Amino acid sequence: MVTAIYPGSFDPVTRGHLDIIKRSSRMFDKVIVSVLINNSKNPLFTVEERAALLQSCCKDLANVEVRSFDGLTVNFAKANHATVMVRGLRAVTDFENEIQLAQTNHALMPGIETVFLATSIKWSYLSSTVVKEAAHYGSDVGKFVTPNVEAALKEKLEQGAL
Ligand code: ADP
């Protein structure tokens, strides 16, 4: 039984993230999508909102769970008996940060392996940041996110938070 965690900010979840979640759910027995609580990036959505959006996006994937966590990702992985950490690689620009993160995590907790999934070409340009930018200027973001996320972005825009 191999449990993997897929950690991130998910502010908010995009179709690129969902592609990685679906593909990892076919590779591992259990996937815990792990939403980072302490975020220096000053998130648009609260951790509860980010987790709830993910939860409804993943409801049809029986072996996928959504949880939030605080502190070191490797500690959260160990506490949940996960031996794999999944990360998506979009482009060369992601590589430098990701390799450093993976090597640091390996030094901290050698029993946990980072597995990189190459992003599908279809979503390689997509990030939560560009989605928020497009939504801010009133663009249709239905191509990038699921309808529940689109509605949540619209609500933030109406509240003046986006
Ligand atoms: P973080 O703040 O940890 O980078 P993100 O929510 O931005 O969190 O991303 C979580 C993970 O999902 C990272 O591994 C990131 O590379 C990956 N990811 C982000 N956008 C995409 C995408 N469009 N396609 C595939 N993977 C992605």
Q: Catalytic site residue 132?
A: no
**Residue 38 in this model has a pLDDT that exceeds 80:** no
For residue 141, is pLDDT > 80?
A: yes
3-state secondary structure 13-71: CCHHHHHHHHHHHHHCCEEEEEEECCCCCCCCCCHHHHHHHHHHHCCCCCCEEEEEECC
In this prediction, residue 25 carries a pLDDT of 98
Mutational test site, ligand 1, from 17, 32, 95, 101, max ligand atoms within 8 Å of CB: 17
Q: Name the pairing type of β-strands 64-69 and 84-89.
A: unpaired
Position 102 in a domain = yes
Cα distances (Å, whole numbers) of residue 146 to 21, 89, 91, 123? 14, 21, 23, 14
Q: What is the mean pLDDT of residues 131-159?
A: 96
- In the predicted structure, residue 26 carries a pLDDT above the cut 90: yes
Assess whether the C-beta atom of 17 lies below 6 angstroms from ligand 1.
Answer: yes
Report pLDDT for 93.
Answer: 82
What is the residue-averaged pLDDT of the chain?
Answer: 95
- Domain that includes residue 8, residue range: 3-121
Q: Would 91 be classed as within a structural domain?
A: yes
Q: Which residues, other chains included, contact 137 with Cβ-Cβ below 8 Å and sequence gap of 6+?
A: none
| Ligand 1 neighbour 24 (Cβ under 6 A) | no
pLDDT at 42: 87
Average pLDDT, integer, range 128-148: 96
Indicate whether 73 belongs to any domain: yes
Q: Is residue 149 a contact partner of residue 57, using CB atoms and an 8 Å limit?
A: yes
Q: What is the pLDDT of residue 39?
A: 61
Q: How many domains does the chain have?
A: 1
- Rounded-to-integer distance, Cα 161 and Cα 155, Å: 9
* Active-site residue flag, 81: no
Candidate from 22-26, 89-93, 97-101, 125-129 with smallest mean pLDDT:
89-93
**Residue that the structure tokens 């191999």 belong to:** 2
Question: 41-64, pLDDT tens digit by residue?
Answer: 789 999 999 999 999 999 999 999
| Of 11, 21, 5, 8, nearest in space to 74 by CA | 5
Phi, psi of 54 (to 5 degrees): -65, -45
Q: Is 94 helix (H, G, I), strand (E, B) or coil?
A: helix
Look up residue 96 and give its two tokens: 């430098």
Residue 145 in any domain: the answer is no
Is 82 among the domain residues?
Answer: yes
Q: What is the pLDDT of residue 57?
A: 97
- Which one of the listed residues 22, 23, 67, 90 is annotated catalytic? 90
What's the CATH code of the domain at 98? 3.40.50.620
Q: Is the peptide bond before 12 cis (omega within 30 degrees of 0)?
A: yes
Q: Could you tell me which of 68, 61, 49, 115 has the C-alpha nearest to residue 88?
A: 115
Q: Does residue 18 sit within a domain? A: yes
Kindly report the pTM of this predicted structure. Answer: 0.94
